[in-house]
Amino acid sequence: MRDQALSVLLIWVFCLCVCCDRAQGGEPLRSPCLCGATNWSRVSAGGFSALMPMRPNSSVKTNHTEAGPAVVRTLKTQVSSAVTFAILHHSFPANSLETDRGQSFVRGLKATLGADGRLRSESVVRLGRYPGRQWRIEKSQGQTIITMRSYVVGDTLYQAVCVMAKDKVCQRHVAEFLDSCRLRIQ
């Protein structure tokens, strides 16, 4: 009789363990990611918004060009010295030519590549009806990975950029950040 009671108890404990495992399997506990980005919320620069970690710093820089002032608004979160997320809103100068605007992707890529960058992949993406590019670029002899998207919308170039040390590249957060880009005027 005692053995039977013990068997019932063991079966009950076994079932409890299985059920607990199932409960955890249904709602997987996410292990800490490589990049360490937390506290995501939607922020916007001009009409362009994205989910960004923590509280981004905002800055405005004006470059004086022959075609007039070119203003760049940036929202940037430096998660650590090895991980940065940013969205940028570049206003083309008032007198810039249509052909110059058409060259935005090429010039944007060239500026990001700099002297030591290597383009590892390029794809065409869209934000609503607006065309864009996604690039994966290696810098610093492959030790830094930049993954970014650029979109031209009228007289504005929008960019979403992730900069990560090679050993901190977190594909989940790169994808979630880039896929979260939205345009108010879509």
Would you tell me which residues interact with Zn ion (CB under 5 A)?
A: 33, 35, 37, 170, 173
CB nearer to Zn ion: give 52 or 153.
Answer: 52
Contacts for 123 with CB less than 8 Å, ≥ 6 apart: 133, 134
* b/e sequence 39-74, b meaning 16+ C-beta within 10 Å: ebeebebbebbbbbbeebeeeeeeeeeeeeebbbbb
CB nearer to Zn ion: give 37 or 183.
Answer: 37
Q: Least distance (Å) from Zn ion to the CB of residue 162?
A: 10
Q: Least distance (Å) from Zn ion to the CB of residue 141?
A: 23
Q: Least distance (Å) from Zn ion to the CB of residue 38?
A: 9
CB nearer to Zn ion: give 133 or 173.
Answer: 173
The H or E element containing residue 25 is helix 2-26
CB nearer to Zn ion: give 35 or 45.
Answer: 35
Token couple for 123: 């794809």
Q: Least distance (Å) from Zn ion to the CB of residue 129?
A: 30
The H or E element containing residue 15 is helix 2-26
Q: Least distance (Å) from Zn ion to the CB of residue 37?
A: 5
CA-based nearest residue to 135, from 98, 102, 101, 174: 174
